[in-house]
Structure 1
Amino acid sequence: MPRASTEVLDLPVAVRPEPDELIRAAMEWHFHPGTGSRFWLERARTLPFDPRSDVRTHEDLRLFPDVAAELRDVRAEDLIPQGYGKHPDVVGVFESGGTTGVPKRVVLLRDWLERMLHWSNANLDAHGFPGGVNWLGLVPTGPHIVGEYFRRSASSHGSHGFTVDLDPRWVKKLIAGGRGADAGAYAEHLIDQAGLVLRTQDIGVLTITPPLLERLARRDDLAELVNEKVRAIRWGGTQLDPDSRYLYKTEVFPKTVLCGNYGSTMILGFAGERPDLPEDSGCVFDAYSPYVTFSVVDPETLGTVAYGDRGRVLVHHVSKSFFLPNNLERDTAIRIEPLAGHIGDAVADIAPVETFEDEAVIEGVY
């Protein structure tokens, strides 16, 4: 059988590859001794199949084990495909939130960042986000990839990015230790800082988590500032229920575009809210297919549930810079039919599981 060409991995950002052609190219790239990462080349020796010859379609990705937990201990250098050469364009090494124990690590390369930003900015345009305005983000920075995406989104779709740093690990530690009042005081401290920026700067887009948006909305002076200045709110990190979404869109911030995203460090990005959803509905999230795909599955059998049913979110990431199949996320969701031409599932009504990898799941403010 002839080996697949890897050229499809370098298509222009505006061009979507044929899904199975992408899979074959990725298998050749990630498991060829001259281009694959040390992690996957070593891991391939333990697999009862040959990825380069046996994995030909998107469905074949189910042959792989879920190795996400192993990313807690792997050297960052060993995750970079060797085909990038001695000086790969690494944007940063980022960690998961630590919700379920020791953080996992991923490496973000520039080619994937640019591809993801192009897709994300197109989604913002579809929602009517203004371009060329200043952004304010109450988001985790430091080791968290969301902070990097915020900065890049602010500069590529907007103008300048103002940030209020959010430490989700500290909030979760406070809550786990029974110090809910301290966690609440920390959240109010974040809102205080956001208020300083809103009062003094021209902010057109606000990026924030639902728990912090709720606190901001309680302060009449800040809610008035948002209505006066902010033209769009992008929320994520935790979920926003349909009733709150409707209230924000129709009563609290009626002149402001409200748009959510759903993602995680392990997928190196996020899914975007589907445009033109009814105001009184919940959010439906579409992944960046075919590079990132969701399946909503029964966690015991890993079989796909019926449309409209709830199951665990299983994620595949397949790109030139990163490969992580069969990642069973800590979230459950309702399975929704995908957009025409997309593979995998859309997801709605995201909710965390109570425990994940034998650890209690604490969301806090992110």
Structure 2
Amino acid sequence: MPADTTALDIPLHPERQPDADAFVRAAMDWHFDPETGSPFWLRRAKSLDFDPRADVKSHDDLALFPNVAGELRTVPVADLVPRGLGSRPAVAGVFESGGTTGAPKRVWCDQDWLDRVTAWSNANLDAHGFPRGREWLGLTPSGPHFVGRLFEESARTHGTVGHRIDLDPRWVKKLIAAGKRDASDAYAEHLIDQAAEVLRTQDIGVLTITPPLLERLARREDLVDLVNRKVRAIRWGGTQLDAESRHLYRTEVFPDTVLYGHYGNTMILGIAGERAGLGDDDPCVFDTYSPYITFSVIDPATGRRVPYGERGRVVMNHVSRTLLLPNNLERDLATRLAAPEGRAGDAVADIAPVAEFEEETVIEGVY
């Protein structure tokens, strides 16, 4: 008889945070029961030196898992779909990583998860004062990238329509790696030129953009004037925004426009959101969608969490009915901070990429 996994069925807007340890135990029963687990994890469990259903009793026990993210470069994506979702689950998409550290990794996503993470993101936007019912403009990757799909859902559910400027981050990184900086600059300016046409002709209230492209936009006085006249909120993400630039945008360049950041990647099928209520001089702190998405900040030499206020490598976990991807060591450094009361894992601030990851030079480009 299958185990009781009802602890995974969290309402979209729970009155209080669910118990993270009970949630993780239910997830272990779901993903490692032969009737409900995915072919990938049921097969992979045979090589683990522990029993997930017996030994993973708390959120902290997710650290027992090996980092399997690299295996997702070659695993058939159908093998990631839990059997418990039926033979024809509501697929929202197959998504790939940006290819910053080699060949892309792939995950799948169903509509239930997309609805959940969109609702959570929309609540964050509300907390930051993003206007509802406005037209959006996004300079984001599309195609196999999860952030493009999230943009579409956010624009549709929080706004009205989403205008898109497609961005190919892999092409930019390839140009930079080949020393073709002039070509990568020309491509970035091409993106801004397209955004300018939309800003001039459409009633854009919300802008989604990456920090390198926001910097280019801010060099053009006519576009700064357009944004200040039309756009009421800017959501940035994809690469990091340094504290000095963030302060400048908030206080001088776009003083009457809400500036809100997010941090995440395809491997967690989501984002962490900037904490509401931060002052202009405060560091940008990111909180996760706990207990589904959680972070730990560790010393990679020991695997132990660093003390609060110190820097380490970011480890990401995704745990839901849709997907299990625990203990994924990321390419980013961050300062470890306490999560809001009741949430599992760590908050992070001052994100910065390492120079090399998985024997590859890390190139961020425009995303």
Shorter-chain TM-score tier: over 0.9
1:282: Cα distance to partner? 2.2
Corresponding residue for residue 264 of structure 1:
265
Corresponding residue for residue 160 of structure 2:
159
State which drifts further: 20-29 or 7-16.
7-16
Corresponding residue for residue 28 of structure 2:
27
SS at 1:312's partner residue?
strand
Query: 2-side partners of 1:364 and 1:262: how far apart?
Result: 16
Corresponding residue for residue 110 of structure 2:
109
Corresponding residue for residue 8 of structure 1:
7
> Do the aligned residues in 2 keep the contact of 1:237 with 1:262 (CA within 8 Å)?
yes
> Do the aligned residues in 1 keep the contact of 2:38 with 2:83 (CA within 8 Å)?
yes
1:322: Cα distance to partner? 0.5
Corresponding residue for residue 192 of structure 1:
193
> Do the aligned residues in 1 keep the contact of 2:3 with 2:30 (CA within 8 Å)?
no
SS at 2:47's partner residue?
coil
Alignment of 1:202-281 (within 5 A): 202-281=203-282
1:18: Cα distance to partner? 1.1
Q: Which amino acid aligns with 2:150?
A: Y
* Structure 1: gaps of 5 or more residues: none
Query: 2-side partners of 1:317 and 1:146: how far apart?
Result: 16
**In the alignment, does 2:337 pair up with 1:336?**
yes
Q: Which amino acid aligns with 2:285?
A: V
Query: 2-side partners of 1:313 and 1:165: how far apart?
Result: 29
Query: 2-side partners of 1:196 and 1:130: how far apart?
Result: 22
Identity value in percent: 66
1:4: Cα distance to partner? 5.0
Aligned length: 365
Corresponding residue for residue 84 of structure 1:
85
Q: Which amino acid aligns with 1:53?
A: A
Corresponding residue for residue 177 of structure 1:
178
Q: Deviations over 1:15-67 (max 9, x none)?
A: 24210111111001000000000000000011111111111111111111110
Compute the RMSD of aligned alpha carbons: 1.0
SS at 2:304's partner residue?
coil
Query: 2-side partners of 1:228 and 1:198: how far apart?
Result: 10
Query: 2-side partners of 1:114 and 1:171: how far apart?
Result: 31
Q: Which amino acid aligns with 1:282?
A: P
SS at 2:127's partner residue?
helix
TM-score, structure 1 normalization = 0.98
SS at 1:239's partner residue?
coil
Q: Which amino acid aligns with 1:256?
A: T
Alignment of 1:57-72 (within 5 A): 57-72=58-73
> Do the aligned residues in 2 keep the contact of 1:141 with 1:148 (CA within 8 Å)?
yes
Query: 2-side partners of 1:250 and 1:333: how far apart?
Result: 25
Query: 2-side partners of 1:8 and 1:134: how far apart?
Result: 37
Corresponding residue for residue 288 of structure 1:
289
> Do the aligned residues in 2 keep the contact of 1:4 with 1:24 (CA within 8 Å)?
no
Q: Which amino acid aligns with 2:89?
A: P
SS at 1:150's partner residue?
helix
1:11: Cα distance to partner? 2.4
Q: Which amino acid aligns with 1:364?
A: G
> Do the aligned residues in 2 keep the contact of 1:241 with 1:282 (CA within 8 Å)?
no
> Do the aligned residues in 1 keep the contact of 2:172 with 2:366 (CA within 8 Å)?
yes
1:337: Cα distance to partner? 1.1
Query: 2-side partners of 1:336 and 1:323: how far apart?
Result: 25
Q: Which amino acid aligns with 2:21?
A: D
1:76: Cα distance to partner? 0.8
1:3: Cα distance to partner? 7.7
Q: Which amino acid aligns with 1:342?
A: R
Corresponding residue for residue 99 of structure 2:
98
1:281: Cα distance to partner? 2.2
SS at 1:27's partner residue?
helix
**In the alignment, does 2:56 pair up with 1:47?**
no
Q: Which amino acid aligns with 1:23?
A: V
Query: 1-side partners of 2:144 and 2:24: how far apart?
Result: 30
Runs ≥4 in structure 1, deviation > 2 angstroms? none
> Do the aligned residues in 1 keep the contact of 2:2 with 2:35 (CA within 8 Å)?
no
Query: 2-side partners of 1:101 and 1:267: how far apart?
Result: 18
State which drifts further: 176-185 or 276-285.
276-285
SS at 2:34's partner residue?
coil
> Do the aligned residues in 2 keep the contact of 1:239 with 1:351 (CA within 8 Å)?
yes
1:299: Cα distance to partner? 1.1
Query: 1-side partners of 2:355 and 2:139: how far apart?
Result: 26
Query: 1-side partners of 2:351 and 2:300: how far apart?
Result: 15
Q: Which amino acid aligns with 1:261?
A: H
Q: Which amino acid aligns with 2:43?
A: E
Query: 2-side partners of 1:214 and 1:64: how far apart?
Result: 40
Query: 2-side partners of 1:250 and 1:148: how far apart?
Result: 31
> Do the aligned residues in 1 keep the contact of 2:293 with 2:316 (CA within 8 Å)?
yes
Corresponding residue for residue 312 of structure 1:
313
> Do the aligned residues in 1 keep the contact of 2:2 with 2:33 (CA within 8 Å)?
no
